[in-house]
Structure 1
Amino acid sequence: MTFPPLSPVLSPDDLVRHLDHHRITGAVATPREANLRNIQGFLDGDQHQHMGVVRTRDWTFDDVLALMQERVGISADPEHREGQDTISAALALAALERYARVFGEVVAAGGRILFATGHPAGLFPVYARLARVARRAGAHVVRVPDGFPFEDGDVRQIEDVVMVEQYGGLRHTHFPGPMTLSLERLRRDGQNPPDLVVADHGLAGAAGSRGLRTLAIADCNDPGVFVAEAQGQVEVAVPLDDNLPPRVYEPVTAYVLHHAGLDEHV
């Protein structure tokens, strides 16, 4: 039996309008001062901003600012220090199409895919949906051994997505530790490394820095992920506001699946 998709596949122009209308791109909620502060935090090795990224060259503040303008579409004006900043819908759309091509290739090859998020309130349903479709299409969705401690919580895999639990709730995190621990657990369990990691924040940065093929979604205040992409550690980093209500991402997920050549039978 064939089931209809959970949401319609929009044309590129309609998806751009959707992205800007819901402020997934365009005039996003993340302020300029946060973007600039996080660039400096990344360069300083701040524990929340380095995101597990191993730098392979020297980066200056101006280098990273220019990179974020080129790959994300934030303002290029160095005198713009506070107020509204932006994400380019055109850059997001182009990155989504690259993301879809890689995802589709790995699924078609029956590859091993590990899903993980530091944004459980926004991106968890996106990855869970990708995982369901990937499994139906013949990919191997990697299962991490049961929950293990991380700081004052633990790492859990729910609906095939690795996340961090703390005090009975799911936690937003930038830290690379949950990915590092998950990959180590897989190794100790005798499992091969994933052929592809689909993640964000430090979970993507840690995977890419370990040489794993990695797809990421990143906000305009996540410069480390885009540096990792520029260094060839993350294959695709899609610039999107990464913490909106999950329903607004449904057309984004449908677009990725369609361009990956995958039908939804979920």
Structure 2
Amino acid sequence: MLSTGAMRAHLLAARLAGTVATSREESLRSYRLFAARDPRVMLGLDPEWNWGQRELIELMADKCGVSADPGHTSGHDVIDPERTLIALHAFAERLGKAARSGAPVLFGTGHPHRLIGFYAALADALSAAGCEVLTPAQGSSVDITTRFGLRTHNLDYVRGVALVREPGPRAPGRTTGAHTHSPLPVRTALAAAAEAGGPLPELVVGDHGWVCGAGQLGFEAIGLADTDDPALFVGEAEGRVSVVVPLDDAVRSDYYRPLTRYVLNRACLSQ
């Protein structure tokens, strides 16, 4: 079993926490856009409170450990590994609760190239524990606004984890989909589940729009977020997202494997 000390060391060595690749400039830009309610960074969340840039910096300093100084405007951002560990424990506890109750669960990611393996292992473990891992709206079209304009994507599932793909033939050996922040995929999946008469998820697990979009609709959601994704932490602060784990969400995919083992052990789901 991976100890807390070993997990902390891995977080720092892999730069999942500590000094991360996300720049302070990127984070501050996201905070400015969020304060202006730019849909590109809202991720489907409609905040109830007024969040200015200063309030967002204070929130992210509290939740992630980034600098609380508005005058700190350059360099790499920092995530406090202790905050990551505390959130990982809460994340694992919620997964364990879902397993014990046999709750239906929906997984989805906007970071399939990096995080599909992490979520898929959790989906496998919950399925083995008796949970129904939902796959509604498979193959449905979702029109997502990108920097290239409106693009049609297809909703798909890999080992029980939802993602979106651009239409057309896939390159040989390519199993993952497109990077997206959009809440439209989770809205499409939840609408399809409701129209089919259920079951509806008791828990949504993922990142980006999958978490914020579900939380905004009243579904319990937990997930991962980087320092330039303030929407998830705002959702947590306002009570629409249950748990957010602060970490770099774009490191090498194999660096998340120890997190998988750690979470499954903590949730008593190791196989």
TM-score (norm: length of structure 2) = 0.92
Hey, what's the Cα distance between the residues in 2 that align with 1:163 and 1:131? 14
User: Which amino acid in structure 1 is aligned with residue 50 of structure 2?
Assistant: D
User: For residues 195 and 63 of structure 1, what CA distance do their matches in structure 2 show?
Assistant: 31
Quick one: percent identity of the two aligned structures?
Answer: 36
Task: Give the residue type in structure 1 aligned to 2:160.
Answer: D
Matches within 5 A, 1:251-262: 251-262=258-269
Q: Does 1:71 align with 2:63?
A: yes
Distance in 2, Cα, partners of 1:157 & 1:185:
14
For each residue in 1:160-217, what CA deviation from the matched residue of structure 2 results, as whole angstroms up to 9, or x when unmatched? Answer: 0110101446110011000111100111111132000001001100001111111110
| Residues 72-121 of structure 1: CA deviation (Å, up to 9, x unaligned) | 11111211111121111100000000000011001110000000000001
1:91 counterpart = 2:98 = no
C-alpha distance after superposition, 1:98-149 (max 9, x if no partner): 0000110011100000000000011111110000011111111112132111
Contact 2:137–2:193 at 8 Å: present in 1 too?
A: yes
Tell me, in whole angstroms, the C-alpha distance in 2 between the residues paired with 1:225 and 1:232.
10
Alignment map for 1:103-142 (pairs within 5 Å): 103-142=95-134
**1:62 aligned onto 2:69:** no
Partners of 2:177 and 2:225 lie apart in 1 by 19
State the Cα RMSD in Å. Answer: 1.1
Q: Is the 8 A contact 1:144 1:157 kept in 2?
A: no
Query: What does residue 3 of structure 1 align with?
Result: none
Moved over 6 A (4+): none
In structure 2, the partner of 1:183 is 190
TM-score by length of 1: 0.94
For structure 1, which runs of at least 5 residues remain unmatched after alignment? 1-8
Instruction: After TM superposition, list the pairs within 5 Å mapping 1:221-232 onto structure 2.
Output: 221-232=228-239
| Structure 2: gaps (5+ residues) | 144-151, 171-175
